[in-house]
Chains A and B, each alone.
Chain A
């Protein structure tokens, strides 16, 4: 770091011996002591939910390691070849070199199947852990100032991870992924004006052509991973600049961060955790099969398998396509407008953009320019939590729709019934989730307030000398109480004319949003209330 003076003396431990000499040698050439001084004892707060981002990072490292192994054997070409490997039901079958080499990795290279499974399971875990990490960040309000940009960076990583996943899923050129590409091709073709040409250029001519696997491979192993690494680096730089958020608790303030130093405790835990995540992935790959391309067979435009689905992270998009009602296509201006595809794409786009810009919306509504380093407990931001629950429900309905056929067979219902139910739930589900969640949050806040003021109910009923029955309450400690009362409260804004004496449309909108957000609020317990309630208890 620039602040480390170059002339700093050799590290303290340079008292001699090999370690000291090596350290000295290194520092004289790299100024590393400055970095150690700067970061060595940097504090990280300890909470399980703060490790979710690490899970994503570590699964990405596992993906890089296993993926590199796979590149040594994989042949990203659609050249026609005849399979002559160990798997009898494919013997003599015409397929692309990509498919044949994937079969060879699976059945003719020792440990190859294991590495393929590690790579694929790690990819699923990668996207899943990003999703869970985003949920944690959202529901605790960690995206608030100064971290809005880091939310955007993280969001871009989520999109990149999905792109990585989809390109990888398509590489073996098997029947499942080929039909996935067929769907992508159909979607692209529906786009007004450019669709036909984009599809034509992407596939190097007509679908399926002989280029797409090689092209996706370039994206999958060069451009996309480079971008993922770049954005991870940015994400982590901002993590260091902002320092980590922390949950509210005794002794924790907006001006400090309480936790363990990087060296040694955090290094041991985080380092160990890398191996644990790797271990979980390895165990999964050891015991559970994933993407058995030998069952699917090589891509051929004629066959298709029942239960053709994308990997889970693309499911929401596939599900949205399934939920579109029929006949949404018309010809206008002598051009085809296929809204059966465009409408789902637009809805998905709006959903994604809303998630992306949510921090800015909330910042605009509250007008809060303070830095926020203490997290909200979800219940203490009822409207945000309810919005989040509505969003999760919306996503979940789309996701469930991607398995409508499997829901139908497994629960012995009709697929038409499943689709119709999910179509209704797409609109009703988020509304229900919103109101239920908001009520639950407010209820929990009220309960917290009760406990902070009067303590826990002990269930012990005592009869007072006057004949009155009371339940004895046990007071909470100051530390426990602090966790219940130390949240930041927001009030709805009053609509007041601006300097010119006018009320603009955007002011009205903001006031309306503010009312929506903060009308129902439970204010934190104040010192006066606390003193008063204690006075009552001691009478």
Chain B
């Protein structure tokens, strides 16, 4: 930038003054000696405001009116702030938003358009020319820069004293490590994520309950075609409710028993056509809760993975890879649906140590 002192030359003077740069390798660029010549700057066209004083006056008035309107807009916004309170009434939020916004919009737009109009129509509009210079420093500057580095190298012995230089580099590489170690504190020390991901709150005898009330569900409540959103009965008294809920949510559906195609080893996991599947998508974990009672398809609204409930929740479409884990259920003495055990595999998205 040191060479920028000649800013804003007038066009007439600039037309003749293009000076050549250091010729550089043009690579595959074709430099044609027969190229058409640059015709130079076209003539300046005057604006109506340059030619007609009346128009200029008019433009000035426009700018003034716009700036005046801008001030009006600002004041209006302040007035609207006072005149359109909300006071806890939802119906008034909209007018509060609208009228403050209208004032501010007027203030901003009029100010901006006024300034631009001033610049376009009134300010002198002669185009000017700056010369460019190569971005690289001059040879002289570069020589001096190299010299400085060499002197510094000489004086410090950075190149010569390899032992201390290399030990410096080594120390610099190691020095951020404590900061990395500190980040271990981001999560609890006494917990192991792999261990946590293996289990949910469900255990033998936990009653299936309605989400969010926690009222337990009787097998007789679940009529054909029903879908219940289920949580463990004791969820609402758990320590970290949301963390537990994120793993334990279940969808309970009742199909005609003859529609169910169950795996042999899971024959006793359902009850009278009532099946329970984890609601956490095995893709990236959204709640898979869109149950179609006639097709028995479950759809995840986030990435459109589809699971076939009639067919032990296998993936029939979309990016998911694994079926939804099934919760083995039975009925207790009082007729309530209970879990036979926890899920037999980790729920939710895959992770490295899952297997």
Contact = CB atoms under 8 A, between A and B. Distances in A.
Per the CB under 8 Å rule, do A and B touch in the complex? Answer: yes
Interface string B298-342: 000111110000000001111111100000000000000000000
Interface in A253-291: 253-261, 264-269, 271-280, 282-283, 285-287
A92 interface: no
Contact of B287 (A215, A254, A302, A514): A302
Contact of A110 (B25, B85, B196): B85
Contacts of A525: 36
B93 A106 contact: yes
A321 interface: yes
Contact of A182 (B89, B100, B120, B286): B286
Interface stretch (A122-130, A369-377, A459-467): A369-377
B287 A196 contact: no
Nearest to A58: B112
Interface in B77-96: 81, 84-86, 88-90, 93, 96
Contacts of A341: 283-284, 319, 349-350
Contacts of A3: 1-2, 5
Given A302-B231, A302-B279, A526-B36, A107 B93 contact: yes
A1 interface: yes
Nearest to B349: A186
Contacts of B98: 286-287
Nearest to A187: B284
A367 B245 contact: no
Nearest to A215: B186
Interface in B181-203: 183-184, 186-188, 191, 193-194, 196-197
Interface string B51-89: 000000000000000000000000000000100111011
Contacts of B215: none
Given A179-B286, A185-B285, A189-B350, A201 B187 contact: yes
B349 A253 contact: no
Contact of A186 (B124, B285, B352): B285
Contacts of B96: 110-111, 113-114
B159 interface: no
Interface stretch (B125-133, B147-155, B163-171, B257-265): B125-133
B18 A256 contact: yes
B193 A197 contact: yes
B127 A526 contact: no
A250 interface: yes
A322 interface: yes
A179 B130 CA distance: 54
B35 A526 contact: yes
Contact of A257 (B102, B130, B283): B130
B281 to A, nearest CB: 8
A371 B237 CA distance: 69
B345 to A, nearest CB: 11
A186 B28 contact: no
B156 interface: no
B111 to A, nearest CB: 4
A257 to B, nearest CB: 5
B217 interface: no
Given A261-B8, A301-B242, A528-B34, A272 B112 contact: yes
Contacts of A189: 349-352
Contact of B348 (A186, A280, A366): A186
B219 to A, nearest CB: 22
Interface in A38-62: 38-43
A191 B112 CA distance: 49
A478 B113 CA distance: 35
A326 B315 contact: yes
B36 A524 contact: yes
B134 interface: yes
Contacts of B116: 268-269, 272-273, 276
Contacts of A324: 319
A300 B188 contact: no
Most buried by A among B7, B188, B240, B303: B303
Interface string A85-127: 1111000000000000000001110110110010000000000
B305 to A, nearest CB: 7
Most buried by B among A240, A324, A492: A324
Contacts of A286: 97-98, 101-102, 104-105
B14 interface: yes
Contacts of B281: 186
B41 interface: yes
Interface string A368-395: 1111010000000000000000000000
Interface in A149-187: 179, 182-183, 185-187
A338 interface: yes
A530 interface: yes
B176 interface: no
Nearest to B183: A201
A283 B28 CA distance: 50
B186 A201 contact: yes
B11 interface: yes
Given A340-B283, A524-B35, 14 more contacts: A42-B4, A183-B284, A183-B286, A196-B194, A205-B187, A208-B242, A250-B40, A251-B39, A258-B128, A279-B109, A308-B301, A322-B318, A485-B35, A526-B34
List the 10 closest A-B pairs by CB distance, nearest first. A186-B284, A286-B101, A367-B27, A272-B115, A275-B112, A268-B119, A251-B41, A329-B321, A279-B109, A276-B112
Interface of B: 1-2, 4-5, 7-8, 11, 14-15, 18-21, 24-30, 32, 34-42, 81, 84-86, 88-90, 93, 96-98, 100-102, 104-105, 108-109, 111-120, 123-125, 127-132, 134-135, 183-184, 186-188, 191, 193-194, 196-197, 211-212, 229, 231, 240, 242-243, 245-247, 249, 279-281, 283-287, 289-290, 301-305, 315-322, 348-355
17 contacts: A107-B90, A114-B104, A183-B302, A196-B197, A241-B135, A242-B135, A277-B112, A279-B111, A304-B289, A329-B322, A334-B355, A367-B25, A369-B24, A371-B21, A419-B304, A489-B29, A518-B28
